[in-house]
Structure 1
Amino acid sequence: MSLRTRVFCILALLATVVFVRLGFWQLSRRHERLARNAIVGAQLRSAPVPFSALPHDTAEAHYRPVHVEGRFDYEHELVLANRSRHGSPGAELITPVRIAGRDTAVLVNRGWVYSPDGGTVDRARWREGDSAIVTGYAELVPSIDTTAAGTSRDRQLVRRITSGELLRHIPYPVAPRYVVSIGDTASLTHPVRRALPELDDGPHARYAVQWFAFAAIAIVGAGMIVVRERRDEAE
């Protein structure tokens, strides 16, 4: 066997090892995703509770179905910019709900609206009345700070919902969790509600098959080179 063929076989073997490890890594990620999906699915299937009754534990509160009642504060509504839907540009409306007898408000993601530039929204058009009776699931407000995307007299534009953004835009305490409103995902009279999280296994199985296929190609290719060289030597 020539030196060139030996080097090629060594490289093919190393590539095979890498490809196989990447394939098993993708399978591991798939198992992790399925385990997470089981937890999220169990949370979403649980009975709705009042927002005030959410568990203090972050993991138990995340994705928990909740309902909240109060009054929408449209004056301090946030426009969550650059949220596309089915390829169309838009934004989501994040509206505080003031609860009677409480200083702390609850943010509600009322859903998606079309916006040609991903931020300009006629917020008055999408108001749903002052009384708020919202059913949805709980999401967490990250405690990290971000830079505000910009403000103007008629809108408060943000790129992420974080505690830092809330301190800049809302002049009263806000709960560390917010509610994602669920319901009609094809409405023309109110913001399109966000769909429930997809609980599929993702692309990891396909990626694993691809990596294993690359490993097989490397081994078979090296074998063919060796067989061809030996045949040439025999001739």
Structure 2
Amino acid sequence: MKKYGFLFSGKWIGIFALTVVASLICLYLAQWQMSRKEALDFSNERISLNYDADPILLADSPELFSSPHPDLRWQQVEMAGTYLADQQLLVRNRPYNGLNGYEVLVPFRTNTGQMIVINRGWVEAAFGDAAATATPIPQPPTGEITLTARIVEGEIDTGASPVKGQITSIDLPEIAELTGLDLATANYGVMASESPAPASAPVQRDKPEQDYGPNLSYSVQWYCFALMFYVAFFWSARQKVRNDELDAQLAAELDAYYSQFYDAEGNYIGEVDEEIIRRRMEFVDDMPAHMKSIVRPKPPKKRSRPTDEEEEDALVDKLL
């Protein structure tokens, strides 16, 4: 193993350290991609299990909107109460089917006194009138109704300043502050049905698609990259050993060749002008590394089986 002793030099220790750092970065990115895949898997599972499940009664689980329940995302909840139409808000910059529009939020007071933000659906933005905010918005039904809504987590604050009657995200604490109502701030409801149903209502979005994404393949690729850094390191070390062996072989062959021109005492005994021999020796000594590789002897190719001539010679030798 002495020929691999260069691995303990400062240069190669530094290269190995960079290899380790690069592989760790790849492993981190692989884990990050895997965590994104797991998040998508969780989201897809919630859609499969909860979106079309039978509604549960809010009266039986009054904490559904006031505390986090990620495992119940998209679960339908049935409640009774009245809309607070005078506190309606629009969430701007919400595209749907290639059109820009708004989502309509209306607080809902249940018969038990809870106040929950309900997303009644989507309306298209108006065009041609700078003062207009949206096309005519269908008003929520008045009086007491029975409402079925799906549980969805609140969104994060985008930091944008709201304008009157509009917000940029469904940030429930911000909505509670704007309306002055004691709203549930963990989850809001996406309307599924209203009874009695109004004559018109905002557009209901389609069922969310289950998107599995490319994160698993990306994660596998990063794991492969982490392994490839080590493969490249050890391949480079093996190549250096091979090149050193070829250099030593070349030096031995050159030494054997030029030693024939001198006797044991160092006297020149060749037939060619000694100056020519010396120039040739100096030329080899001064030859750059990329030029020395040209004159390196190539290792003989290994044959899997002897040639016909070799077999015939072996047979003759055996008979003799």
TM-score, normalization: structure 1?
Answer: 0.69
Shift of the 122–69 alpha-carbon distance from structure 1 to 2, 3 Å rule, reads farther
Cα offset, 1:92, TM superposition: 0.8
Question: Counterparts of 1:214 and 1:70 in 2: how far apart (Å)?
Answer: 57
Question: Counterparts of 1:208 and 1:115 in 2: how far apart (Å)?
Answer: 40
Matched, 1:158 2:167: yes
| RMSD across aligned positions (CA) | 4.0
Q: Which has the larger radius of gyration?
A: 2
Give the secondary-structure state (helix, strand or coil) at the position aligned to 2:59: helix
Cα offset, 1:137, TM superposition: 0.7
Matched, 1:178 2:185: no
Shift of the 24–166 alpha-carbon distance from structure 1 to 2, 3 Å rule, reads closer
Q: Which has the higher contact order (CA 8 A, sep 6+)?
A: 1
Cα offset, 1:94, TM superposition: 0.4
Does the CA contact (< 8 Å) of 2:78 and 2:147 recur in 1?
yes
Question: Counterparts of 1:136 and 1:18 in 2: how far apart (Å)?
Answer: 44
Q: What one-letter code is carried by the residue in structure 2 that aligns with 1:204?
A: N
Matched, 1:47 2:54: yes
Q: Greater share of strand residues, 1 or 2?
A: 1
Matched, 1:169 2:179: yes
Does the CA contact (< 8 Å) of 1:182 and 1:196 recur in 2?
no
Question: Counterparts of 1:124 and 1:221 in 2: how far apart (Å)?
Answer: 65
Matched, 1:8 2:18: no
Match of 1:186 in 2: none
Matched, 1:215 2:226: yes
Question: Counterparts of 2:154 and 2:24 in 1: how far apart (Å)?
Answer: 42
Q: What one-letter code is carried by the residue in structure 2 that aligns with 1:53?
A: D
Pairs aligned (count):
222
Does the CA contact (< 8 Å) of 1:147 and 1:165 recur in 2?
no
The one of 58, 64, 69 aligned to 2:75:
64
Question: Counterparts of 2:243 and 2:156 in 1: how far apart (Å)?
Answer: 68
- 1:173-201 per-residue CA deviation (whole Å, 9 max, x = no partner) reads 44454320248xxxxx7433244455544
Overall identity of the aligned pairs, in % = 21
Q: What one-letter code is carried by the residue in structure 2 that aligns with 1:74?
A: A
Map 1:97-176 onto structure 2 (within 5 A): 97-98=108-109, 104-115=114-125, 121-122=133-134, 124-127=136-139, 129-130=141-142, 133-140=146-153, 149-151=162-164, 156-159=165-168, 160-169=170-179, 172-176=181-185
Q: What one-letter code is carried by the residue in structure 2 that aligns with 1:157?
A: Q
Shift of the 76–126 alpha-carbon distance from structure 1 to 2, 3 Å rule, reads same
Does the CA contact (< 8 Å) of 1:66 and 1:137 recur in 2?
yes
Unaligned runs of 5+ in 2: 1-5, 194-199, 247-295, 297-320
Shift of the 225–138 alpha-carbon distance from structure 1 to 2, 3 Å rule, reads same
Unaligned runs of 5+ in 1: 184-188
TM-score, normalization: structure 2?
Answer: 0.53
Shift of the 206–112 alpha-carbon distance from structure 1 to 2, 3 Å rule, reads farther
Does the CA contact (< 8 Å) of 2:123 and 2:137 recur in 1?
no
Question: Counterparts of 1:201 and 1:96 in 2: how far apart (Å)?
Answer: 34
